[in-house]
Amino acid sequence: MKRWVKWAVPVVVVVLVGGFVARALSARKQQQAALGTARAPAALELAPGDLLVLHPQPFARTLAVSGGLKAVNSAVVRAKVAAEVKSLTVREGDSVKAGQVIGQLDTTEVDWRLRQAEQNAASARGQLDIARRTLENNKALVAQGFISSTGLETSVSNEATANANYLAAAAAVELARKARTDTQLLAPIAGIVSVRAAQPGERVAVDARLVEVVDLSRIELEAAIAPEDVGAVQVGQAATLQVDGLAAPAQAKVVRINPSTQAGTRAVMVYLELLPQPGLRQGLFARGAIELERKTALAVPAGTVRVDQARPYVLAVVDGVVRQRSVTLGGRGSIAGSLERDSQVELAAGVADGATLLRSTVGQVRDGTAVRLAAPASAADPASAAAGR
């Protein structure tokens, strides 16, 4: 009996210890399971504006352009004679008509030059008359045999020389009269004075710049286009521009394409004529886009496409889980005439119609993240509302 007790006691102790150990291990497993459940990430809550459902829509492939505005017709009034500015009746902002007198140069010097030229012409005319009378007399003497034919040839040569001198003097008179006329300053075109570069009393040289006139009825945008893009630009294509200082967008169309490239940059100048609109001024800066092609396509805001990896991709929501989808990009453009530069990008492949994508407002989200749409705010409980009263 004593021998059985000796063996039974250790066995009971071992059983009890094993039970305590098993119970502790079970409790620990339950605790770890509870901690694992607590640490499991919750689903990312999204607002309705964070999601984008793809549908085909009118897509305009565009080419961004920018540059300064310039008047198609402009003219500079320059001094055609060296003289003192006697009067200048227009200033910046004044409207002028074609042929309108806008100033006068001093005529003292040109008047004296005209008189001098007229006196020289009168003298040459007198010499010509003498030469002609001498020639007529010598012709009669040769017929009567009083002088030789050699003397007659000399008279003919003298008469021709006198005639040439007279013609030269007459031309000098006409030039002097033209210089007298050029002292009157006329507006070459109808428009608005943009620059007044001289003041009365100032002496100006020949070809000095006095007044500049611009015609604002026709305004163009001069845009430099890269050589690889100019092939898609054609005369007649429409464009939408945003001009500095104007709230409303300006409509334009391509009217000319320069056949030569710019030295250094190799860019090609393209000229877009703007439709008449109040507020357009020469020198204003404009930016916008030329519509190259219009079609129906799957297009998304440019920020929706992620480019932090080797290939561009989008984040699609499939059965409540974010899935990364590689995409093939098409052209850039806009939807419904948007003025935002490259605001939309075409998805040529990788996603289908009806797919739900995450917008750029969500930020970076890992592939496989669970998401759910935030529930709309519900109306207050009537009982709670009554209690609050």
Locate tokens 């003041």: which residue? 199
Which two structure tokens, joined as six digits, stand for 108? 């003292």
Q: Is residue 175 part of a domain?
A: yes
Cα–Cα dist 276/253, whole Å: 12
Residue 355 resides in a domain: no
Q: Does pLDDT of 389 surpass 60? A: no
Does 126 score more than 80 pLDDT?
A: yes
Task: Give the residues across from 312 on adjacent strands.
Answer: none
- Taking the mean position of all CA atoms in its chain, how far away is CA 73? 19
CB atoms inside a 10 Å sphere around CB 192: 18
Q: What is the CATH number of the domain that holds 169?
A: 1.10.287.470
Instruction: Report d(CA 118, CA 85) in Å as an integer.
Output: 25
Q: Is residue 174 part of a domain?
A: yes
Considering only residues 96 and 143, tell me which one the structure prediction assigns the higher pLDDT: 96
Residues 350 and 40: beta-carbon distance below 8 Å: no
What is the distance, to the nearest Å, from the Cα of residue 22 to the centroid of all Cα atoms in its chain?
80
26 found inside a domain: no
| CA dist list (Å): 216 to 109, 203, 251, 281 | 37, 31, 16, 7
Q: Alpha-carbon dihedral of residues 55, 58, 62, 68, nearest 10 degrees?
A: -120
Asked whether residue 37 is domain-assigned, the answer is no
Q: Say whether pLDDT at 180 is over 50.
A: yes
Q: Which two tokens stand for residue 251?
A: 């409509």
User: Domain residues for 175?
Assistant: 107-180
Beta strand 371-373 with 44-46: parallel, antiparallel or unpaired?
parallel
Helix pair angle (149-182, 108-144), 10° resolution = 160
Would you state the structure tokens that stand for residue 197, as one six-digit string?
């570069």
Residue 45 in domain: no
**What's the rounded Cα separation, in Å, for the pair 324 and 366?**
8
The tokens describing 296, both together, are 């129906």
Residue among 280, 94, 89, 259 nearest 186 (CA)? 89
What pLDDT shows up at residue 167? Answer: 95
Q: Which two structure tokens, joined as six digits, stand for 254? A: 């391509």
The 3-state DSSP class for residue 355 equals: coil
Q: Is the pLDDT of residue 12 over 70?
A: no
Task: Look at residue 318 in the predicted model and tell me its pLDDT.
Answer: 86
Kindly tell me if the per-residue pLDDT of 381 is higher than 90.
Answer: no
111 is a domain residue: yes
Q: Has residue 62 got a pLDDT over 70?
A: yes
Is residue 85's pLDDT more than 70? Answer: yes
Looking at residues 53-59, what average pLDDT do you find? Answer: 82
- pTM reported for the whole predicted model: 0.62
CA dist 331 and 344 (Å) reads 9
- Checking if the pLDDT of 199 tops 90, the result is yes
Q: CA 79, CA 95: separation in Å to the nearest integer?
A: 20
**Residue 258 pLDDT exceeds 60:** yes
Structure tokens at 360: 């750029």
Q: Does residue 275 form part of some domain?
A: no
Q: Which of 238, 228, 195, 200 is nearest to 77 (CA)?
A: 195
d(CA 132, CA 126): 10
**Cα–Cα nearest to 196, from 187, 185, 209, 208:** 209
pLDDT at 255 over 90: yes
| Residues 261-281, mean pLDDT to the nearest whole number | 90
What is the count of structural domains for the chain?
A: 1
